[in-house]
Amino acid sequence: MIVYFNGKFMEKEQVSISPDDRGFLFADGLYEVIRSYNGYLFQAREHLDRLSYGATHLKLGRTDFSELEAIARELISRNRLESEDATIYFQVTRGVAKRSHAFPSPAPAPTIYAAASIFDSTAGDKKRKNGISAITIADTRWARCDMKTTALTPNILANQAAVENDAQEAIFIRDGVMLEGTHSNFMAVFDDVLVTAPLSNYILGGITRNFILDLCRLENIRVEERPIFEKDIHLASEMMIVGTTTEVTPIVKMNHTVFKTGKPGPMAKALQSAYRSGIETLTGSL
């Protein structure tokens, strides 16, 4: 597998990351995952803009990572993934320096890593068709969830709790509000209106979330960005998670209890099909 590391393409086994890398020592870095459909990089610019946003707020010193789009294309080509479903993972850290909490001075060059892998959507397709189980969990994350940092310990613990409860995703609750999943945004349907948490420092501004909200505007589906209180969720007719690898996946069971019909609802199905058509239009190839 050919990957990209600090300016060069190389075999993955040749990558050598210093134990003094601040990504290793402090999780002082950011990541992104872009989906490639038959070689078409989906929402690449939006993902790289989010990386720039994170880099600005982390004061990484460098904020323009637009060259990563061409690097992603090169990785697709070098790994012969042009006709495949794939993901491209990017990670940028503050770089290598003697361990000390404050920023190193002078600033080291950021460490940049990118890798493209084939993405098997079989399991995801089954989940999209039948829906998944989710749990709710207290949000113990920090108050800058708008940055996609590699510091994912609360997300890992929450997702593991989901697995231990025979569920596939955990929805974070803060002050009674259902914010988002461990690796997805959360949406629910109330009276035919698609509702999702407003953008804030408590959620990641999901690229899929934004794409779906745009699709809804095109399809005349009513949308509200407002808090969803857990105490009101019984009034919803549908729940779903959305994300780059998740796309639109309905939730049919919450906290071990079947939700409503226990089957994917009409809004989730409509969004799944609009999402697929959106990709078809963009790629012209599916």
**Helix runs in 139-206, H state only:** 153-164
The terminus-to-terminus CA distance of the chain in angstroms comes to 26
Residue from 127, 148, 253, 269 carrying the catalytic annotation = 148
Instruction: Select the span of 67-75, 87-95, 157-165, 179-187 touching ligand PLP (CB under 6 A).
Output: 179-187
To 10 degrees, what angle do helices 266-283 and 207-218 make? 100
Asked if 115 touches ligand PLP (CB under 6 A), the answer is no
Asked if 136 touches ligand PLP (CB under 6 A), the answer is no
User: What is the contact mask toward ligand PLP in residues 242 to 261, using x (rule: CB under 6 A)?
Assistant: -xx-----------------
DSSP string, 30-96: EEEEEEEETTEEETHHHHHHHHHHHHHHHT-S----THHHHHHHHHHHHTT-TTSEEEEEEEEE--B
Q: Which is nearer to ligand PLP, 21 or 180 (CB)?
A: 180
CB 92 within 8 A of CB 52: no
Least gap, CB of 30 to ligand PLP (angstroms)? 12
Q: Which is nearer to ligand PLP, 18 or 245 (CB)?
A: 245
Q: Which of 208, 216, 272, 275 binds ligand PLP (CB under 6 A)?
A: 208
Closest Cα partner for 165 from 75, 274, 100, 256?
256
Instruction: Select the span of 16-24, 53-61, 74-82, 207-215 touching ligand PLP (CB under 6 A).
Output: 207-215
Least gap, CB of 97 to ligand PLP (angstroms)? 27
Least gap, CB of 204 to ligand PLP (angstroms)? 4
148 is catalytic: yes
Distance of CA 95 to the CA centre of its chain: 23
What is the CA angle 273-277-280, rounded to 5?
Answer: 140
Rule CB under 6 A: which residues touch ligand PLP? Answer: 180, 183-185, 204, 206-209, 243-244
Active-site residues, by number, are: 148
